[in-house]
Amino acid sequence: MKVSVIVTTYENPFFLRKVLDSFLDQERLPDELIVADDGSGKETEEVIREFSSISPVPVRHAWQENKGFRAAKIRNEAIKKTSGDYIILADGDCIVNRHFISDHLSLAEQDCFIQGKRVHVSRDSVGVFTHLSANSPFILLKMALTGQISNFHHLIRFPYYLSVKNQKLKGIKSCNMSFFRKDILAVNGFNEDFIGWGNEDSDLAGRFFKFGLKKKVHQFMAICFHLWHPTNKTPEDRNRELLETTLASKEYFCKNGLAKEN
């Protein structure tokens, strides 16, 4: 399959370059990489330009004006620029190890979308953590023993461990998710009514479930390393209400998505 990777970012060129570099150190390279930029400035543009000059795969920059947190809309704009049969979503604060793309492809299955897992990198370690760290068992074990990373158990690669399928919203995070292009088109992408932090990914998952897909999770595959940063842990009230409306409805096709319904 042709694979498109989308990396979402906003005004963090230092983290973004670390993440982009990790996608060049893969067992299986992506066929294209799209940066979904929610209104960053010139520094981020320069990072993408420099990275594009060394990348062996095409790199595209989807940008929108900074009008607050609009992750749903910029992800849709990036999806429109993809040409792959399979799409992997990542965030600009999540470094991946060299198994990341091959893991997502190994797990890919019709009538499913993949929800990956995260290992958290501590505040004191984000400056020095790179894709080289993510691929070194010795460094990772040392960091786990000294409390510099959490969720270390996800890094123990048990090939015999069976994946789990369900239709539960718990654990949904679009910073590490993948799906077939035909499925994201069928539900009309992310709902752009979601503005501000939170719940746009749960809304997508809820509509995937209504469409007939299951969430597929493997505890020890498709792992990313989330770099610490200050974050808003409380979704906007309006976004919570929108999610409740989605979950109460039988509809899987959102009106304000990749295509617009009048």
157-184 confidence digits (pLDDT tens): 766 567 999 999 999 999 999 999 999 9
Give pLDDT, residue 159.
61
Give pLDDT, residue 152.
85
Residues in the chain with pLDDT values less than 70 = 158-161, 262
From the list 185, 196, 176, the residue with the least C-alpha distance to 239 is 196
Give pLDDT, residue 162.
79
d(CA 55, CA 244): 42
User: Which stretches does DSSP call E strand in the chain?
Assistant: 3-9, 32-37, 59-63, 86-91, 94-96, 112-115, 117-121, 149-150, 164-166, 176-180, 214-217, 223-227
Give pLDDT, residue 158.
66
Give pLDDT, residue 156.
79
Cβ contacts of 107 within 8 Å, gap of 6 or more? 114, 163, 178, 216, 218, 221, 222
258 belongs to a structural domain: no
* Contact by Cβ (8 Å): 76, 200: no
Give pLDDT, residue 234.
77
144 belongs to a structural domain: yes
Give pLDDT, residue 161.
64
This prediction has a pTM of 0.96
34 belongs to a structural domain: yes
80 belongs to a structural domain: yes
The CATH code of the domain that includes 27 is 3.90.550.10
* Contact by Cβ (8 Å): 200, 153: no
Give pLDDT, residue 121.
97
If one counts the domains in the chain, the total is 1
Cβ contacts of 63 within 8 Å, gap of 6 or more? 37, 39, 40, 45, 74
d(CA 85, CA 184): 11
Give pLDDT, residue 102.
97
58 belongs to a structural domain: yes
Domain that holds residue 50: 3-248
76 belongs to a structural domain: yes
